[in-house]
Structure 1
Amino acid sequence: MPMKSLKTADVKNKTVIARVDLDTPLGKDSSGNIIVRDDYRLQRILPTIQWLASHKAKTVVIGHLRRPKGWDKDKSLLPVAQTMADLLKLKFIVIDEKVERLPHYDIPHVFFFAEDFRAEKSKRLLKDLNPGDIAVLENIRFYPEEEKDSEKFARELASLGEIYVNDSFATVYHANQVSIMRLATLLPHYAGFELEKETKILSQVLATPERPYLMMIGGVKLSEKLAAMSGILNHCDSVIVGGGIATLFYLAQGYEVGKSLAEKSKIVEAKDILRNYKSKIHLPVDVVVARSPEEEKSIRVTKPDEVSPEEMILDIGPETIKKYSEIIREAKTVLWSGPMGLFENKHFAHGTKALGRLFASRSQGLSFGIAGGGDTLAAIKMLGVGEDIDHLSTGGSSMLQYLSGIKLPGIEVLKD
């Protein structure tokens, strides 16, 4: 059963709770104010928010930012809501303890509710929204109940609206979050346009990828990636490995990896993957190491089995770049998840840059290119090749799990 599309919903004059992806990178301007550094994820949810506003819905936006412990002003959604209003070209007003009445205007506004939505004043003001208005609630993870599957909290949140829309692909793999799961069971529910787009494209890759189908995997989020990697290996033809994933496989083979980042608790799992899919997995034949990222004079290229206890593996080597480039050129579908090394440091960015540029240059024609995950998208932004790639997924873990064939709970709950 497919998810119900938002286009089929009657939202006029109704209050719609929209769960979207607001987890954007933040920074500070010259005055020390916290600002959004990259509005890419906000750009992706605009079609859903704009559609709701144009169809005269009263939209209550909920989302998260990072993993706060309680009400942490450094993880407030205030700058994110401000940027959303700027992108929508709407006036922005903060509703805080000083505001007792919701101002009304002839044109829609974006209101940021800085206080607890459960307060009587907040509930009263939210009911006073005009059709077309957009209210952004404070970081949903400020509430510990959000990640405890609290039914009471879910009902309090659901009482704010009449319809629920999920447009946050990045979070649909979570099974215990109220705003992803519980709300969909309490209200008529629909999939937003970004969620629909993600699942449509990834479903095609999962079912009928053009072959050879290659996966490029790196980065350091080993726990999440290893679990999905086994599933994807059942579907793809080959995998080229870098980053912390490669280091873990070296450990599984008994190699010395020195001070390299690696989750030793995952060695058994890595051994199983190597044993079951050995013919599909390509590991680096040379690596770039150093005593630390800061010790430039200690940088050298060596074979994977010749790393000293004092060194760290920080990038793939030139021979590996050459070998991996040949494999990429033969592929017709390429999935990229995770950098090949410590790309934030120019001395260890060569692998990520070389393969990233090649990956992008072959997309939209010679192969179908998909990339996802925060570090991967950051590397793509650094290279300036985002527009060349067929599909950039906003969800790293969700993308990998979906392409491994795992049923994602936040999607399944929208299907009934």
Structure 2
Amino acid sequence: MSSSEPLRRNRDFVLLWSGSAFSITGSTASTVAVPLLVLAVTGSAAAAGLAGFVALLPLLVLPVPAGVLVDRCDRKRLMLWCDVVRGLNAASIVLALALGRLTLPQILAVGVVEGSLSVLHDLAAHAAVPNLVPDSRLTEALSLAEARERGATMLGTPLGGLLFGLARALPFLFDAVSYLVSVVTLLLIRKDFQRPSAVDHEQPREPVLPQLAAGFAWLWRQPFLRTATLAVAGSNLLFRALFLAVLVFSRTLGASPAAVGLLLGVAGAGGLLGSLAASWCQRRLRLRTLVVGANWVWALLALGIALTRDLYLLGALYALMWFVGPIWNVAVATQQLRTTPDHLQGRVLGAGALLSGGALPLGSLAGGLLLQYAGTATTLAVLAGWMVLLAAAVTLAGAVRTPPAPEPPHTIPTHPDLEVSQ
């Protein structure tokens, strides 16, 4: 494919994008339905919370070992098996409901399998993108991937509740079918998901620990990516705590549950618009400007949220925070994919996911404790102060002030069928 042709004419990328869109929509619908199903089966809110915890646990423990598999195995084959097993996994809920044999242990097991294979599938899909699109279209591809994920999540969330209201098994049946669609689209893709020799770059009997540490070691030697990853971890602490604080604050301002849902829906729309704008922003702004500017915009918006007492302004400020997120994500992800050797992509992605994603439960815990013992106003002030300090640290970081120059063409992951253009 010529680098000048639009991505909509890139058959393989369109297949990957559309198949993933179906599977994300299906998995979101079933994720929303799980706590409703647990409550219906057990009547226990604690059991519903446990189901959510075990489903998220793989995000904390699996990114790094999953990255090793993504680098050492055929990525397309891994994704196919993940979709097949996840489809059967969701179908097991449908079968158990039909037979009247569904139990809490089965729901928990299904959650663990779904969460674990989703980590592996998502890392493989992300690492495959540079091998399916020309380098000049990489930013656009990542922007569309962000939009796909946010749009599918926005669609899947209400759909899960709607389907569950019609019949308890429907969200899980839809999830199983969505994985079947993804399998078909993957089988139709012609290009390889990694360089032909990528799997052979390492010794087959290399010890396990060096393989697990390779992503962290490479990431730590890249000053810009190291700083960006730590900044993401710091900001994720804020965002997770702020999510809970905004919910509590909006209720304090008199918002009904329906209004809170609308506020979150507007925020999700802001994230979707930011995804669509990310490619445009990166074409017109320097990497340093995007990275530093995003942190200061978040800091100013967090200060605005702490100071406002108007519900509509609160919703607008929070939606703007969501708008900026994808622009940051695409800018940093483009730099990471362009500079990481193809045979290390999975492990570097896994290391970054562990560092940034590991901050989410800590942020949730910190937000809950602050709200409980310090109150809403103090919590919002602390979070705003934290974001200002983080923005200042990013601004002063030498690695961000002088980001790395673009890599020479021969170091960028390529595929023989792709025309790479700087």
Structure having the higher Rg: 1
Which is helix-richer, 1 or 2?
A: 2
Name the TM tier (shorter chain).
under 0.3
Q: TM-score, normalised by structure 2?
A: 0.22
Structure with greater proportional strand content? 1
